[in-house]
Structure 1
Protein backbone atom coordinates (compact mmCIF):
# COMPACT_ATOMS: atom_id res chain seq x y z
CA UNK A 1 0.00 0.00 0.00
CA UNK A 2 1.40 3.40 -1.02
CA UNK A 3 0.80 5.17 2.29
CA UNK A 4 3.09 2.85 4.27
CA UNK A 5 6.13 3.44 2.07
CA UNK A 6 8.56 5.51 4.14
CA UNK A 7 9.66 8.83 2.71
CA UNK A 8 13.28 9.68 3.37
CA UNK A 9 14.02 13.38 3.89
CA UNK A 10 17.74 14.06 3.53
CA UNK A 11 18.17 17.84 3.39
CA UNK A 12 16.49 21.24 3.79
CA UNK A 13 15.25 21.34 0.19
CA UNK A 14 13.56 17.96 0.54
CA UNK A 15 12.01 19.07 3.85
CA UNK A 16 10.66 22.24 2.19
CA UNK A 17 9.16 20.30 -0.74
CA UNK A 18 7.70 17.63 1.55
CA UNK A 19 6.20 20.24 3.89
CA UNK A 20 4.56 22.05 0.97
CA UNK A 21 3.25 18.78 -0.48
CA UNK A 22 1.82 17.62 2.84
CA UNK A 23 -0.18 20.83 3.26
CA UNK A 24 -2.30 19.64 0.32
CA UNK A 25 -2.42 15.98 1.42
CA UNK A 26 -6.04 16.03 2.59
CA UNK A 27 -6.21 12.26 3.23
CA UNK A 28 -2.94 12.15 5.23
CA UNK A 29 -1.63 9.31 3.05
CA UNK A 30 1.28 11.11 1.38
CA UNK A 31 -0.71 11.68 -1.82
CA UNK A 32 -2.28 14.67 -3.49
CA UNK A 33 -4.72 14.99 -6.33
CA UNK A 34 -2.96 15.79 -9.63
CA UNK A 35 -5.01 19.01 -9.76
CA UNK A 36 -3.00 20.27 -6.76
CA UNK A 37 0.43 19.84 -8.40
CA UNK A 38 0.44 23.38 -9.82
CA UNK A 39 -0.65 24.79 -6.47
CA UNK A 40 2.17 22.99 -4.64
CA UNK A 41 4.71 24.19 -7.21
CA UNK A 42 3.50 27.79 -6.87
CA UNK A 43 3.55 27.47 -3.07
CA UNK A 44 7.24 26.57 -3.45
CA UNK A 45 7.83 29.83 -5.34
CA UNK A 46 7.86 28.29 -8.79
CA UNK A 47 6.18 29.92 -11.76
CA UNK A 48 5.31 26.93 -13.95
CA UNK A 49 3.57 26.99 -17.30
CA UNK A 50 0.64 24.63 -17.80
CA UNK A 51 2.94 22.47 -19.93
CA UNK A 52 5.49 22.26 -17.09
CA UNK A 53 2.75 21.32 -14.63
CA UNK A 54 1.57 18.59 -16.99
CA UNK A 55 5.15 17.32 -17.34
CA UNK A 56 5.50 17.10 -13.54
CA UNK A 57 2.16 15.26 -13.34
CA UNK A 58 3.20 12.86 -16.09
CA UNK A 59 6.52 12.15 -14.34
CA UNK A 60 5.04 11.71 -10.86
CA UNK A 61 1.46 10.40 -11.20
CA UNK A 62 0.82 7.09 -9.49
CA UNK A 63 0.72 4.21 -11.91
CA UNK A 64 -1.83 1.46 -12.24
CA UNK A 65 -5.05 2.55 -10.65
CA UNK A 66 -5.67 5.75 -12.65
CA UNK A 67 -6.44 7.44 -9.37
CA UNK A 68 -5.27 10.85 -10.51
CA UNK A 69 -2.95 10.99 -7.51
CA UNK A 70 0.69 11.85 -6.97
CA UNK A 71 2.65 10.18 -4.16
CA UNK A 72 5.27 12.11 -2.24
CA UNK A 73 7.91 9.43 -2.98
CA UNK A 74 7.76 10.21 -6.71
CA UNK A 75 7.09 13.93 -6.36
CA UNK A 76 9.91 14.67 -3.93
CA UNK A 77 12.97 13.64 -6.01
CA UNK A 78 11.50 15.00 -9.24
CA UNK A 79 10.65 18.44 -7.87
CA UNK A 80 13.87 18.69 -5.86
CA UNK A 81 15.78 18.07 -9.10
CA UNK A 82 13.79 20.82 -10.87
CA UNK A 83 14.47 23.23 -8.00
CA UNK A 84 18.18 22.36 -7.98
CA UNK A 85 18.29 23.09 -11.72
CA UNK A 86 16.51 26.38 -11.03
CA UNK A 87 13.59 25.48 -13.30
CA UNK A 88 10.30 27.38 -13.19
CA UNK A 89 11.82 30.35 -11.35
CA UNK A 90 10.10 33.72 -11.62
CA UNK A 91 11.58 36.24 -14.01
CA UNK A 92 13.97 38.82 -12.65
CA UNK A 93 12.36 42.22 -11.88
CA UNK A 94 14.52 43.85 -14.55
CA UNK A 95 13.21 41.43 -17.18
CA UNK A 96 9.61 42.10 -16.11
CA UNK A 97 10.23 45.85 -16.28
CA UNK A 98 11.58 45.50 -19.83
CA UNK A 99 8.50 43.47 -20.79
CA UNK A 100 6.20 46.20 -19.44
CA UNK A 101 8.13 48.80 -21.40
CA UNK A 102 7.48 46.84 -24.59
CA UNK A 103 3.75 47.15 -23.83
CA UNK A 104 4.24 50.90 -23.28
CA UNK A 105 5.93 52.18 -26.46
CA UNK A 106 5.17 55.83 -25.55
CA UNK A 107 6.96 55.32 -22.20
CA UNK A 108 4.15 56.84 -20.14
CA UNK A 109 4.84 54.49 -17.25
CA UNK A 110 1.26 53.19 -17.24
CA UNK A 111 -0.75 50.61 -19.14
CA UNK A 112 -4.52 50.49 -19.32
CA UNK A 113 -6.24 47.67 -17.46
CA UNK A 114 -8.18 46.68 -20.60
CA UNK A 115 -5.00 46.43 -22.68
CA UNK A 116 -3.27 44.39 -20.01
CA UNK A 117 -6.22 42.01 -19.66
CA UNK A 118 -6.21 41.57 -23.44
CA UNK A 119 -2.49 40.78 -23.44
CA UNK A 120 -2.75 38.40 -20.49
CA UNK A 121 -5.63 36.43 -21.99
CA UNK A 122 -4.77 36.45 -25.70
CA UNK A 123 -0.96 36.41 -25.92
CA UNK A 124 1.46 33.77 -24.69
CA UNK A 125 0.18 31.46 -21.99
CA UNK A 126 -3.19 32.88 -20.96
CA UNK A 127 -3.92 33.77 -17.35
CA UNK A 128 -6.95 32.23 -15.68
CA UNK A 129 -9.72 34.49 -14.41
CA UNK A 130 -8.51 33.92 -10.85
CA UNK A 131 -4.92 34.82 -11.74
CA UNK A 132 -6.10 37.96 -13.56
CA UNK A 133 -8.24 39.03 -10.63
CA UNK A 134 -5.34 38.57 -8.21
CA UNK A 135 -3.02 40.55 -10.47
CA UNK A 136 -5.45 43.38 -11.12
CA UNK A 137 -6.22 43.76 -7.41
CA UNK A 138 -2.59 44.71 -6.82
CA UNK A 139 -1.67 46.23 -10.20
CA UNK A 140 -4.50 48.66 -10.97
CA UNK A 141 -4.50 52.10 -9.41
CA UNK A 142 -8.09 52.45 -8.13
CA UNK A 143 -8.12 56.21 -8.77
CA UNK A 144 -6.98 56.10 -12.41
CA UNK A 145 -7.91 52.58 -13.47
CA UNK A 146 -4.43 52.31 -15.00
CA UNK A 147 -1.47 50.08 -14.16
CA UNK A 148 1.57 52.09 -13.07
CA UNK A 149 3.88 49.19 -13.79
CA UNK A 150 7.01 50.36 -11.98
CA UNK A 151 4.96 50.76 -8.79
CA UNK A 152 3.30 47.38 -9.42
CA UNK A 153 6.67 45.63 -9.79
CA UNK A 154 7.88 47.24 -6.58
CA UNK A 155 4.78 45.85 -4.84
CA UNK A 156 5.61 42.39 -6.15
CA UNK A 157 9.14 42.65 -4.77
CA UNK A 158 7.73 43.23 -1.29
CA UNK A 159 6.16 39.75 -1.41
CA UNK A 160 9.34 37.95 -2.54
Structure 2
Protein backbone atom coordinates (compact mmCIF):
# COMPACT_ATOMS: atom_id res chain seq x y z
CA UNK A 1 0.00 0.00 0.00
CA UNK A 2 1.45 3.35 -0.93
CA UNK A 3 1.04 6.62 0.95
CA UNK A 4 -1.71 7.83 -1.39
CA UNK A 5 -3.88 4.83 -0.46
CA UNK A 6 -3.94 5.72 3.21
CA UNK A 7 -3.96 9.52 3.18
CA UNK A 8 -7.10 11.12 1.82
CA UNK A 9 -8.10 13.81 4.31
CA UNK A 10 -11.82 14.38 4.88
CA UNK A 11 -12.31 17.97 6.06
CA UNK A 12 -16.05 18.64 6.05
CA UNK A 13 -19.53 17.13 5.69
CA UNK A 14 -19.55 17.41 1.89
CA UNK A 15 -16.25 15.54 1.60
CA UNK A 16 -17.53 12.90 4.03
CA UNK A 17 -20.71 12.41 1.99
CA UNK A 18 -18.70 12.02 -1.23
CA UNK A 19 -16.19 9.66 0.39
CA UNK A 20 -18.96 7.55 1.95
CA UNK A 21 -20.70 7.14 -1.43
CA UNK A 22 -17.38 6.28 -3.09
CA UNK A 23 -16.20 3.81 -0.46
CA UNK A 24 -19.36 1.71 -0.76
CA UNK A 25 -17.87 0.52 -4.06
CA UNK A 26 -14.29 0.13 -2.79
CA UNK A 27 -14.35 -3.66 -2.62
CA UNK A 28 -10.57 -4.03 -2.24
CA UNK A 29 -10.33 -1.51 0.61
CA UNK A 30 -7.67 0.57 -1.17
CA UNK A 31 -9.73 3.73 -1.82
CA UNK A 32 -10.12 2.74 -5.48
CA UNK A 33 -13.23 1.83 -7.46
CA UNK A 34 -13.82 0.40 -10.89
CA UNK A 35 -14.49 3.29 -13.28
CA UNK A 36 -17.78 1.62 -14.29
CA UNK A 37 -19.13 2.44 -10.80
CA UNK A 38 -18.60 6.20 -11.21
CA UNK A 39 -22.02 6.72 -12.79
CA UNK A 40 -23.77 5.17 -9.80
CA UNK A 41 -21.64 7.08 -7.31
CA UNK A 42 -22.14 10.46 -9.00
CA UNK A 43 -25.89 9.94 -9.33
CA UNK A 44 -26.17 8.82 -5.71
CA UNK A 45 -24.79 12.26 -4.81
CA UNK A 46 -27.79 13.93 -6.46
CA UNK A 47 -26.07 14.78 -9.73
CA UNK A 48 -27.72 14.09 -13.08
CA UNK A 49 -24.98 13.98 -15.72
CA UNK A 50 -25.44 12.54 -19.20
CA UNK A 51 -23.51 9.43 -20.20
CA UNK A 52 -21.10 11.67 -22.14
CA UNK A 53 -20.52 13.73 -18.99
CA UNK A 54 -19.93 10.52 -17.00
CA UNK A 55 -17.22 9.61 -19.51
CA UNK A 56 -15.65 13.05 -19.01
CA UNK A 57 -15.67 12.51 -15.23
CA UNK A 58 -14.00 9.13 -15.66
CA UNK A 59 -11.35 10.52 -18.04
CA UNK A 60 -10.61 13.38 -15.65
CA UNK A 61 -10.24 11.03 -12.67
CA UNK A 62 -8.97 7.73 -14.02
CA UNK A 63 -5.88 6.47 -12.22
CA UNK A 64 -2.87 6.72 -14.55
CA UNK A 65 -1.11 3.91 -12.66
CA UNK A 66 -4.18 1.64 -12.84
CA UNK A 67 -6.33 2.35 -15.92
CA UNK A 68 -9.99 1.45 -15.50
CA UNK A 69 -9.91 2.51 -11.86
CA UNK A 70 -10.56 5.77 -10.03
CA UNK A 71 -8.86 6.64 -6.75
CA UNK A 72 -10.59 8.65 -4.05
CA UNK A 73 -7.70 11.15 -3.95
CA UNK A 74 -8.58 12.19 -7.54
CA UNK A 75 -12.35 11.86 -7.28
CA UNK A 76 -12.92 13.72 -4.00
CA UNK A 77 -11.65 17.20 -4.99
CA UNK A 78 -13.23 16.86 -8.43
CA UNK A 79 -16.67 16.08 -6.98
CA UNK A 80 -16.38 18.79 -4.33
CA UNK A 81 -15.92 21.27 -7.17
CA UNK A 82 -18.77 19.76 -9.23
CA UNK A 83 -21.21 19.93 -6.32
CA UNK A 84 -20.05 23.37 -5.18
CA UNK A 85 -20.51 24.73 -8.72
CA UNK A 86 -23.95 23.04 -8.92
CA UNK A 87 -23.07 21.24 -12.15
CA UNK A 88 -25.23 18.32 -13.27
CA UNK A 89 -28.27 19.53 -11.32
CA UNK A 90 -31.57 17.75 -11.98
CA UNK A 91 -34.22 19.55 -13.98
CA UNK A 92 -36.70 21.56 -11.91
CA UNK A 93 -40.14 20.05 -11.28
CA UNK A 94 -41.80 22.51 -13.67
CA UNK A 95 -39.63 21.38 -16.60
CA UNK A 96 -40.24 17.71 -15.83
CA UNK A 97 -43.99 18.30 -15.71
CA UNK A 98 -43.82 20.18 -19.00
CA UNK A 99 -41.95 17.27 -20.62
CA UNK A 100 -44.41 14.66 -19.34
CA UNK A 101 -47.34 16.74 -20.62
CA UNK A 102 -45.79 16.74 -24.08
CA UNK A 103 -45.51 12.93 -23.90
CA UNK A 104 -49.12 12.68 -22.68
CA UNK A 105 -50.70 13.99 -25.87
CA UNK A 106 -54.22 12.99 -24.75
CA UNK A 107 -53.95 14.87 -21.42
CA UNK A 108 -54.69 11.78 -19.29
CA UNK A 109 -52.22 12.87 -16.56
CA UNK A 110 -50.57 9.46 -16.73
CA UNK A 111 -48.64 7.21 -19.09
CA UNK A 112 -49.05 3.46 -19.28
CA UNK A 113 -46.28 1.25 -17.96
CA UNK A 114 -45.54 0.20 -21.55
CA UNK A 115 -45.37 3.82 -22.75
CA UNK A 116 -42.98 4.95 -20.01
CA UNK A 117 -40.81 1.85 -20.45
CA UNK A 118 -40.60 2.41 -24.20
CA UNK A 119 -39.87 6.13 -23.83
CA UNK A 120 -37.14 5.56 -21.24
CA UNK A 121 -35.35 2.77 -23.10
CA UNK A 122 -35.74 3.51 -26.81
CA UNK A 123 -35.32 7.24 -27.27
CA UNK A 124 -32.73 9.84 -26.45
CA UNK A 125 -30.38 8.68 -23.76
CA UNK A 126 -31.80 5.36 -22.55
CA UNK A 127 -31.97 4.57 -18.87
CA UNK A 128 -29.87 1.75 -17.47
CA UNK A 129 -32.13 -1.22 -16.57
CA UNK A 130 -31.53 -0.60 -12.84
CA UNK A 131 -32.52 3.05 -13.23
CA UNK A 132 -35.67 2.08 -15.13
CA UNK A 133 -36.55 -0.49 -12.47
CA UNK A 134 -36.20 2.15 -9.74
CA UNK A 135 -38.25 4.66 -11.74
CA UNK A 136 -41.04 2.13 -12.23
CA UNK A 137 -40.87 1.01 -8.60
CA UNK A 138 -41.44 4.58 -7.45
CA UNK A 139 -43.78 5.75 -10.23
CA UNK A 140 -46.14 2.93 -11.16
CA UNK A 141 -49.53 2.91 -9.48
CA UNK A 142 -49.97 -0.77 -8.56
CA UNK A 143 -53.76 -0.55 -8.67
CA UNK A 144 -54.01 0.27 -12.36
CA UNK A 145 -50.43 -0.25 -13.65
CA UNK A 146 -50.14 3.36 -14.83
CA UNK A 147 -47.49 6.02 -14.35
CA UNK A 148 -49.21 9.14 -12.91
CA UNK A 149 -46.37 11.54 -13.66
CA UNK A 150 -47.45 14.40 -11.36
CA UNK A 151 -47.38 12.01 -8.40
CA UNK A 152 -43.99 10.69 -9.55
CA UNK A 153 -42.51 14.19 -9.86
CA UNK A 154 -43.75 15.07 -6.36
CA UNK A 155 -42.28 11.84 -5.02
CA UNK A 156 -38.81 12.34 -6.45
CA UNK A 157 -38.62 16.09 -5.87
CA UNK A 158 -40.00 16.28 -2.38
CA UNK A 159 -39.05 12.90 -0.92
Could you tell me the TM-score, scaled by structure 2's length?
A: 0.88
Q: Counterpart in 2 of 1:98?
A: 98
Q: Counterpart in 2 of 1:149?
A: 149
Question: What SS does the corresponding residue of 2:21 show, helix, strand or coil?
Answer: helix
1:41 aligns with 2:54: no
Contiguous gaps of at least 5 residues in structure 2 = none
Instruction: Report the alpha carbon displacement of residue 8 of structure 1 after superposing the two structures with TM.
Output: 2.6
Mark the CA change 1:4 to 1:138 in structure 2 (over 3 Å): closer, same or farther: closer
Instruction: Report the alpha carbon displacement of residue 58 of structure 1 after superposing the two structures with TM.
Output: 0.5
Instruction: Report the alpha carbon displacement of residue 158 of structure 1 after superposing the two structures with TM.
Output: 4.2
- The CA distance in 1 between the partners of 2:29 and 2:77, in whole Å, is 20
Q: Counterpart in 1 of 2:138?
A: 138
Q: Counterpart in 2 of 1:73?
A: 73
Q: Which moved more, 1:1-10 or 1:98-107?
A: 1-10
Preserved CA contact (<8 Å) 2:48 2:90: yes
Give the total of aligned pairs. 158
Give a deviation string over 1:17-61, Cα, whole Å, max 9, x none: 122212221222111111111111122111222111111110001
- The CA distance in 2 between the partners of 1:71 and 1:139, in whole Å, is 35
Instruction: Report the alpha carbon displacement of residue 4 of structure 1 after superposing the two structures with TM.
Output: 4.0
Mark the CA change 1:2 to 1:42 in structure 2 (over 3 Å): closer, same or farther: farther
Question: What SS does the corresponding residue of 1:114 show, helix, strand or coil?
Answer: helix
Q: Counterpart in 1 of 2:125?
A: 125
RMSD: 1.8
- The CA distance in 1 between the partners of 2:29 and 2:85, in whole Å, is 29
Mark the CA change 1:16 to 1:92 in structure 2 (over 3 Å): closer, same or farther: same
- The CA distance in 2 between the partners of 1:133 and 1:39, in whole Å, is 14
Mark the CA change 1:6 to 1:140 in structure 2 (over 3 Å): closer, same or farther: same
Mark the CA change 1:145 to 1:2 in structure 2 (over 3 Å): closer, same or farther: same
Could you tell me the TM-score, scaled by structure 1's length?
A: 0.88
